[in-house]
């Protein structure tokens, strides 16, 4: 167990009669997946460092229903969405930040017509805002000389046109950013989307994550950075397929920032 993180739930805020600045939507992966939990922790370390008054829903949080929707189960999606909206509206939530582009996309785009209207940000956008406002400073040259390539998550990049925030954050560490041949709007999927994460792939001659990792490795990176827990898993598996675990690491942008500050 490492140093104590400061995390308060909405219930605690309510008990104190206060409103948080933001709600951190942790998401199912960020709550339960061993690798993704580390991303949640890294993001919270940065929030703590910037003294952000944030809340989580804790045990009241439930799946956004996103993956059910992509799988075609509109019923389950809307059930989850309406339940979550009831909770969020009850707490009068205004601003939501999440590390998961899938939650980001559905909360931002698909919840409004069901009655959930919030200002939704991806954590890279929010971290950039903190830096721009001078609340968070990134210093040091720990990453100088390191080559980082950023893999655009489909639901952050192509789907919602967020391309710059993660790249600007990575640049703050003075690392050397190298682009893959297919990046930004033309980025290749990691293979996890559309509920593929939860099933075996159909018959083919290769796995999508291996193909994407090939593209990433062509840039000779030290680090493959991404902004999605599912991409993270897929790229990590891809690195294993190429037996490059010793020379290349897969990190979330929040982890790169937290590491660079020795958090």
Partner 1 sequence: MEYLPNIIFAVALILGIGFFARNVKKLSRNIKLGKDVDVSDNKSKRWKNMARIALGQTKMVVRPIAGIMHVIVYVGFIIINIEVLEIILDGLFGTHRLFSPLGSIYDFLIGSFEVLALLVIVAVVVFWIRRNIIRIQRFIKPEMKGWPKTDGNMILYIEFVLMILFLTMNAADFQLQQLGAEHYHEAGAFPVSQFIVPILDGLSESSLILVERTAWWLHILGILAFLNYLYYSKHLHILLAFPNTYYGKVKPQGQFNNLESVTKEVKLMMDPDADPYAAPAEQDTGEPEKFGASDVMDLNWVQLLNAYTCTECGRCTSECPANQTGKKLSPRKIMMDTRDRLEEVGKIMDANKGEFVSDGKQLLNDYITPEELWACTTCNACVQACPVSIDPLSIIVEMRRYLVMEQSAAPTELNNMMSNIENNGAPWPYNQMDRLNWVNE
192-231 residues near partner 1, rule: CB under 8 A: 192-196, 198-208, 211-212
Exposure letters 60-96 (e unless 16+ CB within 10 A, then b) = ebebbbbbbbbeeeeeebbebbeebbebbeebebeeb
Residue choice 74, 141, 179, 245 for contact with partner 1 (CB under 8 A): 74
The region of 183-191, 219-227, 238-246, 248-256 touching partner 1 under the rule CB under 8 A is 183-191
Query: Strand ranges (DSSP E) for 107-245?
Result: 119-122, 147-150, 176-177, 223-226
Name the pairing type of β-strands 147-150 and 119-122.
Answer: unpaired
The region of 39-47, 90-98, 241-249, 250-258 touching partner 1 under the rule CB under 8 A is 39-47
Report the nearest approach of partner 1 to the CB of residue 246 (Å). Answer: 26
Contacts of partner 1 in 43-72 (CB under 8 A): 44, 56, 58-59, 61-63, 65, 67-72
- CB closer to partner 1 out of 78 and 259: 78
Report the nearest approach of partner 1 to the CB of residue 249 (Å). Answer: 20
- CB closer to partner 1 out of 103 and 149: 103
- CB closer to partner 1 out of 28 and 249: 28
Two tokens at 242?
């190429």
Number of residues that bind partner 1 (CB under 8 A): 72
- CB closer to partner 1 out of 196 and 232: 196
Two tokens at 18?
């206060």
User: Please, how many CA atoms are within 13 Å of residue 202, restricted to the half-sphere of its CB?
Assistant: 1
Contacts of partner 1 in 91-130 (CB under 8 A): 105, 108-110, 113-114
Report the nearest approach of partner 1 to the CB of residue 248 (Å). Answer: 21
The region of 22-30, 46-54, 134-142, 216-224 touching partner 1 under the rule CB under 8 A is 22-30
Residue 220 has a CB neighbour count (10 Å cut-off) of 11
Q: Residue 30: CB partners within 8 Å, gap ≥ 6?
A: 36, 37, 39, 40, 98, 99, 100, 229
Cα(26)–Cα(229) distance, integer angstroms: 11
């Amino acid at each position: 167990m490492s140093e104590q993180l400061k995390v308060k739930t909405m219930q605690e805020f309510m008990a104190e009669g206060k409103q948080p600045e933001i709600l951190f939507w942790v998401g199912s992966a960020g709550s339960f997946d061993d690798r993704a939990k580390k991303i949640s922790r890294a993001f919270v370390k940065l929030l703590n460092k910037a003294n952000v008054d944030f809340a989580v829903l804790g045990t009241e949080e439930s799946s956004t229903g996103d993956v059910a929707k992509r799988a075609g189960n509109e019923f389950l999606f809307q059930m989850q969405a309406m339940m979550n909206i009831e909770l969020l509206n009850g707490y009068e939530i205004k601003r939501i930040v999440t590390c998961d582009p899938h939650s980001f996309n559905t909360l931002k785009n698909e919840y409004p017509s069901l009655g959930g209207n919030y200002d939704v940000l991806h954590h890279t956008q929010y971290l950039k805002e903190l830096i721009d406002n001078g609340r968070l400073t990134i210093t040091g040259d720990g990453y100088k000389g390191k080559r980082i390539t950023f893999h655009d998550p489909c639901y952050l990049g192509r789907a919602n046109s967020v391309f710059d925030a993660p790249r600007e954050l990575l640049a703050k560490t003075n690392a050397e950013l190298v682009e893959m041949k297919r990046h930004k709007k033309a980025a290749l999927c990691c293979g996890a989307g559309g509920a593929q994460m939860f099933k075996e792939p159909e018959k083919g001659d290769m796995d999508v994550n291996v193909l994407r990792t090939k593209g990433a490795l062509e840039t000779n990176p030290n680090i493959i950075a991404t902004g999605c827990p599912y991409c993270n898993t897929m790229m990590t598996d891809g690195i294993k397929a190429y037996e490059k675990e010793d020379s290349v690491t897969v990190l979330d942008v929040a982890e790169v920032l937290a590491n660079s500050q020795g958090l």
